[in-house]
């Protein structure tokens, strides 16, 4: 398949329709398959085997766990369309055995696209293939523990690929050659780190030291993620990884080492966040990533046969309030920065704001959907000397509406005890 940006002419693209109606029916339809309680591993296997009744579904055992349990891969696609002609999105869930919502998101996606007779879903599968590993750590799931049966944290094992589960998934990814990869996780809301107190995503950043197209693709997708999560009511932060960082984590391994646009999703648990709510976060994220991959990689045939699905009417526009203003707050006595530096940003008014974006020395480091946001920076990763911090307010198309900047002097000698 030749790669190229999708033309916006002609019939309405399913890629656009997918997100245009997600709040109205696709998102709700998929999440409606989520149970109130996490199913057992045996129940997951039974549900996947039952889905094989659909001609759209293939279930394969791509490996076995240390204790001999099957590592199942579910492929959902239109059997009449060659796999290589579609955009392929690979999703990995439950590397940590206690993190349930990634599994339920995979099950819900598989069931919905396997069974739906909707025009949109059928047309979408003519362009898109879902490849899902709902349980990457069967032994950990059965035992109710984070690590696998060897005591290894699978999401700290990708660079060395010493674990059987990791090796099997790497082989599967190499075979599928996906256009995007998503790794689904959960993290307690009680985290002591300010950066981890909201739902967050990590991906490969622009200026990452890799190809420009990889960083720009991940940046574009994460901007879409921020915009959609904000519209649906999920607070979100996005953090960017660059070359030289530890590739033992799954998304860094596939992003930095294998050059695949890769995304780590962390849904927060606790504080009233139900399994259904966390599943919804993952499903929406998967739809946005798939939409972004379709926009970038799917090339329309000469006479596209694409369902024409009308987008919902846009919401009524708020009365114009003028361009936003971004204000930054730094400790007044902290002209010299050591250790952790908190950058507090506020955009007012917030009517057109989709997200705030943090840059350090021209490199995008993070973005967040809140109009008032605290960005924690660890100055120890920067050399001593002056560094320019810029916060930009962006709309849902990524346009910069306003910005504010400050220069700080990093001096890590005192932090290091010199």
Preceding omega of 177 cis (within 30 degrees of 0): no
Most confidently modeled range among 129-143, 195-209, 270-284: 129-143
Tell me phi and psi for residue 311, to 5 degrees: -75, 150
* Residue 382 clears pLDDT 70, i.e. is over it: yes
| Structural domain includes residue 316 | no
Q: Give the range of the structural domain holding residue 115, as residue numbers without chain letter.
A: 14-297
Structural domain contains residue 253:
yes
Residue 309 falls inside a structural domain: no
Residue 318 falls within a domain, yes or no?
no
CA dist 238 and 340 (Å) reads 18
Reported confidence tier of residue 248, pLDDT bands at 50, 70, 90: very high
> Is residue 267 domain-resident?
yes
Between 333 and 182, residue with greater pLDDT: 182
Q: Residue 118: which CATH number?
A: 3.40.630.10
**Is a pLDDT exceeding 70 seen at residue 401?**
yes
Q: Do 119 and 266 reside in the same domain of the chain? A: yes
Residue 331's pLDDT is 57
Instruction: Judge whether 8 lies within some domain.
Output: no
Shared domain for 26 and 130, answered yes or no, is yes
List of residues 6+ apart from 333 with CB closer than 8 A: none
Mean pLDDT score, 264-289 = 94
Q: Residue 328 — very low, low, confident or very high, per pLDDT cuts 50/70/90?
A: confident
In order, the DSSP letters of 50-83 are HHTTSTTEEEEEEEE-TTS-EEEEEEE--TTS-G
pLDDT at residue 302, as a whole number: 53
Instruction: Taking residues 130-141, report their average pLDDT.
Output: 98
Q: Could you identify the residue written with the tokens 């996005």?
A: 238
Same domain for 166 and 244 = yes
Q: Domain check: are 250 and 375 in the same one?
A: no
- 244 and 340 part of one domain: no
For the cut 60, the answer to whether the pLDDT of residue 357 exceeds it is: yes
Give percent of the chain with pLDDT exceeding 90.
Answer: 58
What's the structural domain count of the chain?
Answer: 2
* 331 & 242 share domain: no
Does any domain span residue 418? no
Looking at 22-141, which runs of residues are DSSP E strands?
57-64, 70-76, 87-93, 128-133
pLDDT of 288-320, one tens digit each?
A: 999 999 989 987 665 444 443 333 444 444 555
Domain at 402, CATH number: 2.60.40.10
- Taking the C-alpha atoms of residue 178 and residue 196, their distance in angstroms, rounded to an integer, is 28
Q: Are residues 185 and 259 in the same domain?
A: yes
Residues of the chain with pLDDT > 70, as a percent, come to 84
Whether residues 125 and 216 fall in one domain: yes
Q: Please, are residues 136 and 153 in contact by the beta-carbon 8 Å criterion? A: no
* 94 and 26, same domain (yes or no): yes
Computed on alpha carbons and rounded to an integer, the radius of gyration of the chain in Å comes to 22
Same domain, 161 and 241: yes
Is 77 within the bounds of a domain? Answer: yes
Residues 275 and 348 in one domain: no
User: Virtual CA dihedral for 217, 221, 227, 228, nearest 10 degrees?
Assistant: 160
Residues 62 and 202 in one domain: yes
């Amino acid at each position: 398949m030749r790669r190229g940006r999708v033309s916006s002419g002609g019939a309405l693209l399913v890629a656009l329709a997918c997100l245009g109606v997600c709040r109205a029916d696709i998102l709700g339809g998929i999440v409606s398959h989520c149970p109130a309680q996490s199913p057992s591993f045996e129940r997951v296997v039974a549900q996947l085997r039952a889905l094989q009744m659909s001609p759209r579904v293939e279930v394969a055992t791509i490996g076995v766990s240390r204790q001999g349990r099957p590592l199942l891969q579910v492929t959902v696609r239109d059997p009449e369309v060659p796999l290589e002609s579609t955009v392929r999105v690979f999703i990995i869930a439950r590397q940590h055995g206690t993190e349930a919502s990634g599994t339920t998101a995979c099950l819900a996606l598989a069931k919905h696209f396997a069974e739906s007779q909707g025009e949109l879903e059928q047309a979408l599968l003519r362009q898109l293939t879902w490849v899902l590993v709902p349980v990457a750590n069967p032994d950990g799931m059965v035992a109710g523990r984070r690590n696998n049966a060897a005591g290894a944290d699978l999401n700290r094992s990708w660079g060395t690929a010493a674990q059987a589960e990791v090796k099997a998934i790497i082989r599967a990814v190499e075979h599928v050659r996906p256009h995007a990869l998503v790794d689904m996780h959960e993290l307690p809301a009680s985290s002591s780190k300010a950066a981890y107190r909201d739902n967050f995503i990590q991906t490969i950043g622009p200026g990452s030291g890799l190809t420009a197209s990889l960083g720009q693709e991940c940046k574009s997708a994460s901007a879409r993620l921020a915009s959609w999560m904000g519209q649906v009511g999920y607070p979100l932060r996005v953090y960017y990884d660059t070359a030289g960082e530890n590739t033992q984590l799954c998304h860094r391994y596939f992003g930095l080492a294998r050059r695949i646009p890769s995304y780590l999703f962390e849904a927060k648990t606790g504080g009233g966040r139900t399994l259904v709510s966390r599943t919804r976060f993952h499903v929406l994220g998967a739809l946005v990533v798939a939409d972004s991959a379709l926009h970038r990689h799917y090339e329309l045939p000469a006479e596209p046969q694409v369902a024409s699905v009308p987008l919902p009417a846009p919401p009524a526009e708020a009365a114009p309030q003028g361009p936003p203003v971004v204000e930054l707050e730094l400790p007044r006595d902290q002209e010299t920065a050591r250790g952790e530096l908190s950058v507090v940003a506020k955009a007012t008014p917030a009517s057109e704001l989709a997200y705030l974006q943090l840059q350090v020395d021209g490199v995008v480091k993070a973005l967040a959907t809140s109009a008032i946001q605290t960005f924690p920076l660890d100055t120890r990763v920067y050399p001593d000397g002056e560094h320019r911090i810029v916060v930009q307010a962006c709309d849902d198309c990524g346009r910069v509406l306003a910005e504010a900047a400050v220069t700080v002097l990093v001096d890590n000698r005192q932090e290091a005890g010199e």
